[in-house]
């Protein structure tokens, strides 16, 4: 018997792999799950273990899972696993084909699969791994490992990877977090040959937890959230319920960041609302990654080292905490409650510094390093100054200082309005830099709208200067610019909502 693409299943594969050690983890239950899946319209099954493979009568994608001491690879890592699955009657043998340390080479496993007359499926995580698998001669490429080889697991399936894998001319199995019929159908629309669904069909424990968690979140939504927005100039503390700020306090941002006294200051701001909230969110200028806070531009706010802010807030306030970059939080706030109105958007805050956030497809994009939207950190030329160095409030103030006028951004605009040429030049230069950056953002991200916020960004004269610069741009590339509407509460509203979602 030879491996042929004609034998590749089409439509729906159901993964009948119960939770390890759970009440459904026995051969009889797996067979019942398989029969029920067949009766419901499944065209094939994904089964773990050669004993279980032999007990099922549909076409089988067979795997063996092992926990190895010297390799993170778990799916069919050994040649003897391939032999056992083939002898048990698997139509397809799937192996982990990621670029990770392994006991047996991928090529050796592939040779054994084809020698045994089975189709070979490569479980990959990246497009480069898919390319490797296609070049080696795998019959099927599966997106099974996408999101599972490091870092937090995404909530949504990797539909983009499905589309990219089609370029190699192989059958493509969309697998991993396809938890609804609509997502499975979208995978077919993106070019998948077949969709493999597991947890949503056969993991009763997981499906039950989805419902239980959703009900718990809904039940807790009536409770307010304690929100902080910590910027380079001001710190806002607020009690937030949905789109409403129930109460707030604002102080100048203390410079003793991360110290015991600083946390006591935050606690003091929230003291009037003690007992009124059950979670806390903090929107902060700088870089937020894995619950830690660090500086992107120390000139804006000098954060000491890498501060474990999320853990510190949970300890200080005794409730669940969530932290987020302030501009990303404000972007979400404008999307949910402000000028964004549910549209794909980029929000830019041009104030002491320059920050940004991107919302696309109903999701806040943070990126692999939590840098998404950080427009102020982009370089005006390779190895040159950052955009923030010239076009932010602090950057404009430094330019005024060099011109012999030690004024802040607000006073620079007053001077411009009074006809001072030096001030007009500073504002015009900053607006030109921003306009160019906005065009680049439109080309790269192509949002429906770009919202401008922050003390500089909301200034009418500044917006006029930016609009004037954009009149010379090809209309096909010209961004749609609107003013953000939530003002200084956007970050607090956004982070409170994000904290509530993640509660």
Could you report the per-residue pLDDT of 188-201, keeping only the tens digit for each? 999 999 999 999 99
Residue pair 232/285 in contact (Cβ under 8 Å)? The answer is yes
**495 lies in some domain:** no
Residue pair 466/435 in contact (Cβ under 8 Å)? The answer is yes
Tell me how crowded residue 135 is: count the other CB atoms within 10 A of its CB: 9
The C-alpha atoms of residue 143 and residue 129 are separated, in whole angstroms, by 10
Task: Identify the domain boundary among 295, 328, 361.
Answer: 328
Burial class (CB in 10 A: 0-12, 13-18, 19+), 98: buried
pLDDT tens digits along 111-149: 999 999 999 999 999 999 999 999 999 999 999 999 999
The C-alpha atoms of residue 378 and residue 20 are separated, in whole angstroms, by 47
Beta-strand (E) ranges in 214-315?
A: 225-230, 234-241, 244-252, 279-284, 287-289, 292-294
- Residue 1 has what pLDDT? 32
Average of per-residue pLDDT across 10-33: 91
Question: CA 251, 253, 256, 260 torsion: positive or negative?
Answer: positive
- CATH code, domain with 423: 3.30.420.40
- Residue 21 has what pLDDT? 81
pLDDT tens digits along 339-385: 998 899 999 999 888 999 999 988 999 998 889 999 988 987 666 68
- Residue 216 has what pLDDT? 67
Structural domain range at position 46: 5-209
**171 lies in some domain:** yes
Share of the chain above pLDDT 70, in %: 97
Two structure tokens written together for 284: 């902060």
Helix (H) or strand (E) holding 118: none
Average of per-residue pLDDT across 95-102: 97
* 69 shares its domain with 205: yes
Task: Identify the domain boundary among 328, 353, 387.
Answer: 328
Average of per-residue pLDDT across 226-234: 92
- Among the ranges given (55-64, 208-217, 422-431, 457-466), the one the predictor scored with the smallest mean pLDDT: 208-217
What's the number of domains the chain is made of? 3
Mean pLDDT rounded to a whole number for the chain: 92
* 190 shares its domain with 258: no
Confidence of residue 220 (pLDDT cuts 50, 70, 90): low
Helix (H) or strand (E) holding 411: helix 409-417
4 has pLDDT over 70: no
**500 lies in some domain:** no
441 has pLDDT over 50: yes
Query: Interhelix angle for 409-417 vs 460-470, to 10°?
Result: 70
217 has pLDDT over 80: no
Task: Identify the domain boundary among 178, 209, 240.
Answer: 209
Alpha carbons within 13 A on the beta-carbon side of 105: 5
* 408 shares its domain with 477: yes
- Residue 7 has what pLDDT? 79
Two structure tokens written together for 439: 């065009």
Q: Between 154 and 404, where is the model more confident?
A: 404
Confidence of residue 152 (pLDDT cuts 50, 70, 90): confident
- Residue 213 has what pLDDT? 76
Average of per-residue pLDDT across 75-91: 97
Question: CA 167, 168, 174, 177 torsion: positive or negative?
Answer: negative
């Amino acid at each position: 018997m030879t491996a042929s693409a004609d034998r590749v299943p089409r439509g729906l594969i159901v993964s009948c792999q119960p939770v390890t050690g759970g009440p459904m983890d026995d051969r009889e239950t797996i067979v019942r799950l398989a029969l029920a899946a067949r009766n419901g319209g499944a065209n094939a099954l994904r089964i773990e273990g050669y004993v279980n493979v032999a007990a099922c009568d549909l076409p089988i994608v067979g795997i063996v899972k092992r926990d190895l001491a010297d390799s993170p690879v778990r799916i069919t890592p050994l040649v003897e696993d391939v032999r056992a699955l083939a002898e048990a009657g698997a139509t397809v043998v799937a192996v982990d084909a990621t670029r990770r340390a392994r006991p047996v080479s991928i090529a050796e496993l592939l040779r054994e699969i084809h020698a045994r007359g089975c189709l070979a499926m490569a479980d990959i995580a990246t497009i480069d791994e898919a390319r490797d698998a296609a070049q080696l001669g795998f019959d099927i490429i599966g997106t099974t490992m996408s999101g599972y080889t490091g870092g937090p697991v995404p909530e949504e399936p990797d539909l983009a990877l499905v589309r990219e894998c089609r370029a190699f001319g192989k059958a493509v199995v969309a697998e991993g977090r396809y938890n609804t019929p609509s997502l499975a159908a979208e995978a077919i629309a993106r070019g998948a040959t077949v969709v493999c669904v597991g947890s949503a069909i056969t993991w009763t424990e997981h499906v039950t937890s989805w419902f239980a968690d959703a009900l718990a979140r809904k039940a807790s939504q009536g409770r307010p959230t304690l929100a902080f927005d910590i910027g380079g100039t001001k710190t806002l503390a607020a009690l937030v319920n949905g789109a409403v700020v129930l109460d707030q306090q604002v102080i100048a941002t203390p410079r003793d960041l991360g110290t015991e006294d600083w946390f006591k200051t935050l606690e003091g701001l929230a003291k009037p609302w003690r007992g009124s909230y059950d979670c806390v969110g903090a929107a902060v200028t700088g870089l937020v990654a894995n619950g830690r806070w660090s500086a992107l531009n120390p000139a804006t706010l000098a954060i000491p080292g890498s501060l474990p802010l999320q853990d510190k807030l949970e300890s200080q306030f005794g409730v669940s905490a969530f932290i987020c970059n302030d501009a990303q939080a404000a972007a979400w706030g404008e999307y949910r409650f402000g000028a964004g109105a549910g549209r794909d958007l980029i929000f830019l805050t041009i104030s002491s510094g320059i920050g940004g956030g991107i919302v696309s497809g109903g999701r806040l994009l943070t990126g692999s390093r939590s840098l998404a939207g950080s427009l102020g950190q982009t370089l005006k030329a390779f190895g040159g100054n950052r955009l923030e160095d010239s076009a932010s409030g602090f950057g404009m103030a430094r330019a005024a200082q060099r011109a012999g006028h030690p004024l802040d951004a607000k006073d620079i605009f007053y001077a411009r309005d009074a006809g001072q040429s030096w001030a007009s030049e500073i504002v015009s230069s900053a607006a030109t830099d921003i306009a160019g950056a906005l065009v680049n953002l439109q080309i790269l991200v192509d949002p429906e709208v770009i919202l401008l916020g922050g003390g500089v960004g909301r200034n009418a004269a500044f917006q006029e200067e930016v609009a004037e610069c954009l009149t010379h741009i090809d209309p096909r590339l010209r961004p749609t610019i609107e003013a953000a509407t939530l003002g200084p509460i956007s970050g607090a509203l956004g982070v409170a909502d994000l904290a509530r979602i993640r509660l």
